[in-house]
């Protein structure tokens, strides 16, 4: 009995370390404050903070793996990653489990003060709107139809710079990114943003990964209850 009793602390100590890491996938096109990606490595941002918080609740070591948007869905489906967060099911067709909705996001349009302030999306029909290549904007497509004129670039930051330089009058973006740029001291002469829609994103969980949807959901519930999600967001506002 003494031998068994002596072994129990040792087994508990090596338990979490012996578990598979929590592999969190991140799109290489993601910008701060969502992710700071340098030389292919996620070194900061909301994705990294969330990965670390989830892994801590799950008793695992966090690993953030960045890859291009075109490959990320196949990697998740094949089990090369465990979770992909800050998504909606309609953005990611495939066979995954989905957690509860928990991370707020707001899509909006920023308009230069030199242009007329739009009161609705219909007011923007026929005018070029700064958008990001590969991103979908279903609300604007529905509201304007063929009048939705995309002006694609590779990043949200490039669009803001075009707006500041007077090369664009309207830019589609998300509140998290816009607030972060203002926090950094970005100077823009714009109207009050036109809100397109607000919602809460989720995490997609691989059916071939090392964690179950119920486990990730339970971890998210704990993080919400403890105010960790709000704290992560406030760090970038």
Whether 171 and 117 map to the same domain: the answer is yes
Whether 92 and 139 map to the same domain: the answer is no
Distance CA 203, CA 184 (A): 28
Range of the domain at 83: 2-103+200-234
Is the CB of residue 105 less than 8 Å from the CB of residue 178?
no
pLDDT digits (tens, 9 = 90+) for 23-42: 999 999 899 999 999 999 99
If one counts the domains in the chain, the total is 2
Q: What is the pTM of this model?
A: 0.87
Whether 72 and 152 map to the same domain: the answer is no
Whether 152 and 38 map to the same domain: the answer is no
Whether 7 and 89 map to the same domain: the answer is yes
Distance CA 99, CA 205 (A): 7
Whether 208 and 98 map to the same domain: the answer is yes
Whether 111 and 149 map to the same domain: the answer is yes
pLDDT digits (tens, 9 = 90+) for 167-225: 999 999 999 999 999 988 888 999 999 999 999 999 999 999 999 999 999 999 999 99
Whether 135 and 165 map to the same domain: the answer is yes
CA neighbor of 168 nearest in space, from 149, 185, 186:
149
Whether 112 and 182 map to the same domain: the answer is yes
Q: Any idea what the CATH number is for the domain that residue 149 is in?
A: 3.40.190.10
Whether 206 and 191 map to the same domain: the answer is no
Whether 78 and 121 map to the same domain: the answer is no
pLDDT digits (tens, 9 = 90+) for 115-137: 999 999 999 999 999 999 988 89
Is the CB of residue 232 less than 8 Å from the CB of residue 46?
yes
What pLDDT is attached to residue 10?
37
């Amino acid at each position: 009995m003494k031998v068994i009793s002596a072994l129990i602390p040792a087994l508990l100590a090596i338990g979490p370390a012996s578990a598979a890491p929590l592999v969190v996938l991140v799109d290489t096109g993601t910008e701060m404050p969502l992710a700071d990606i340098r030389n292919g490595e996620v070194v900061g941002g909301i994705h990294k903070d969330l990965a670390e918080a989830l892994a801590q609740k799950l008793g695992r070591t966090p690993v953030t793996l960045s890859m291009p948007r075109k490959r990320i869905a196949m990697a998740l489906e094949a089990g090369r990653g465990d979770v992909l967060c800050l998504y909606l099911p309609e953005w990611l067709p495939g066979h995954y489990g989905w957690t509860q909705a928990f991370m707020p996001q707001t899509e909006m349009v920023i308009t230069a003060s030199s242009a007329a302030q739009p009161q609705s999306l219909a007011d923007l029909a026929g005018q070029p709107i700064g958008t990001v290549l590969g991103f979908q904007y279903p609300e604007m497509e529905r509201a304007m139809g063929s009048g939705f004129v995309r002006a694609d670039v590779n990043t949200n930051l490039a669009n803001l710079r075009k707006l500041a330089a007077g090369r664009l009058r309207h830019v589609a973006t998300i509140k998290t990114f816009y607030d972060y740029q203002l926090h950094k001291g970005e100077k823009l002469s714009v109207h009050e943003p036109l809100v397109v829609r607000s919602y809460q994103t989720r995490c997609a969980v691989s059916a071939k990964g090392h964690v179950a949807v119920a486990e990730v959901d339970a971890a998210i519930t704990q993080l919400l209850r403890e105010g960790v999600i709000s704290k992560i967001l406030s760090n970038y506002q």
